[in-house]
Structure 1
Amino acid sequence: MESTLNPRRLCAAALAVAALFLLAQAAWIPAKAWLGQRLLEAAWHRVQSGEPDARPWPWADTSPVAELAIPRLGLHQLVVEGASGRNLAWAPAALTPVTGGDIIISAHRDTHFSALRHALPGDLVTLRTPTGERRYRITHQEVIDSRDTELVIDPSGNRLTLVTCWPFDAVTAGGPMRWVINALPA
């Protein structure tokens, strides 16, 4: 008995393999993001239990340092130390120590800080660290050009600054404009 390849079956099999490959590729980023958040949460619990520098995974070069929330917006994010591009892929990142003085936290506009487009002066912001919780109220919002404006950090200050790219609906990422929200102790 001689076997011949049926072109329709061969084409259907090739399409099925291609579809499975595309589905797996599309699921990879959300699955990786979900797992990353679970690992960050576990590391945050270890930080709260007194383990300094609890890394979410063995090769991580950061650890969670705070928990940021804006209740009216439903925003609740862990904050990691150091604002490298790699860290910002996983969570908002602290550009400054969260232990005192002015605090600057940055995150991507289309993921972790997407809700900031709806922030309003007067909104409550909480920042919980291993040493306690601080409450802030948003006082001011503005768009700045990062090419000609620097954020001023006062080590003895008490301001919380949240920074993300702007505009929120930009087609391409990485422009020079930034959405800056300032908050003072409530």
Structure 2
Amino acid sequence: MRIRSGVAFAVKLIFLLSLCVLVYSAVQIFKAPVEARHALEDWAKKREEAPRLTVPEDETPLPAGMINLPAQPDDSSASTNTSISQSGTTYTEGEVIGEIYFPSLNKRVAILEGTQRPQLKRGAGHYTGSAVVGTSGNSVLAGHRDTVFRSLGSLKKHDLIEVETVDGKFVYEVTGSTIVDGEERGAIKESDTPILTLITCYPFSYVGSAPERYLLSASLIGREPLLQEQH
């Protein structure tokens, strides 16, 4: 009798724990779109408050197809959890720093500094230490496969990706993708030219902690500065 009672108690306990896990997962799934939307709203406000480039009347804005980027600032004095933009703006871990837009998917995602759980719950995370968006080097962004980077596998070679920060809008062209083991080191390559690498877990439909990583690569083909309208 005691054995049966013990087994029944264990079954009930397992059921309750499983139910708690399911409820928690459901709450997180419903919260994710809300937090992602709030992050985009934060970026919209920040964009409006950002200093704008005023183009003199006798000059024209930089054409979208022309790349004319200043050298990346020396960030040796910055702490390990910050990055410095081209304009000298310091990005602090957890801060909303921009927006990434996929025209072929009609999807916008906020970009936050850092790739810890709080950042990835709200949008794509910029790997601190990787190149600042738009500068020479490899700018690395990570995102969850079941939320912000859900349709990343649908992007094809030559598709465009637009990334906007306080330094302007940067247009990238997809060059390819690769799949690597999740434990592989050195999968992120350095670059002398401005490139973008988007990372998410793979396979996309995998249940649980996925064993591989999907890496999408793109090259910078254009820049549009944030302009201030002439009055």
What TM-score results when the alignment is normalised by the length of structure 1?
A: 0.72
The match for 1:74 among 86, 98, 106 is 106
Written as runs of structure 1 = structure 2, the 5 A alignment for 1:17-56 is 28-29=27-28, 32-48=31-47, 49-50=49-50
Q: Write 1 or 2 for the structure with the bigger share of helix.
A: 1
Residues 64-123 of structure 1 deviation map (CA, whole Å, 9 limit, x = unaligned) = 112101111122111111011221111111113336232000000011101112111110
1:179 corresponds to 2:214: yes
Distance in 2 (CA, whole Å) between partners of 1:47 and 1:65 is 8
Identity across aligned pairs (percent)?
Answer: 24
AA partner of residue 153 (structure 2): R
| Residue of structure 1 equivalent to 2:67 | none
Shift >3 Å, 4+ stretches? 24-35, 51-55
CA contact (8 A) 1:53 1:63 kept: no
CA contact (8 A) 1:66 1:98 kept: no
Distance in 1 (CA, whole Å) between partners of 2:208 and 2:100 is 27
CA contact (8 A) 1:43 1:54 kept: no
**C-alpha deviation, 1:34, in angstroms:** 4.5
Query: Alpha carbons of 1:43 and 1:149: their partners in 2 closer, same or farther (altered >3 Å)?
Result: same
AA partner of residue 138 (structure 2): D
Residue segments in structure 1 that go unaligned for 5+ positions in a row: 1-23, 56-60
Distance in 1 (CA, whole Å) between partners of 2:172 and 2:212 is 25
Q: Secondary structure at the match of 2:183?
A: coil
| Residue of structure 1 equivalent to 2:8 | none
The match for 2:177 among 141, 146, 162 is 141
RCO greater where, 1 or 2, for CA within 8 Å and sep 6 or more?
2
1:92 corresponds to 2:124: yes
Residue segments in structure 2 that go unaligned for 5+ positions in a row: 1-22, 52-88, 222-231
CA contact (8 A) 1:141 1:179 kept: yes
CA contact (8 A) 2:179 2:215 kept: yes
AA partner of residue 37 (structure 1): A
RMSD: 2.6
Distance in 2 (CA, whole Å) between partners of 1:45 and 1:66 is 9
| Residue of structure 2 equivalent to 1:11 | none
AA partner of residue 127 (structure 1): V
Distance in 2 (CA, whole Å) between partners of 1:165 and 1:124 is 21
AA partner of residue 153 (structure 1): E
| Residue of structure 2 equivalent to 1:127 | 163
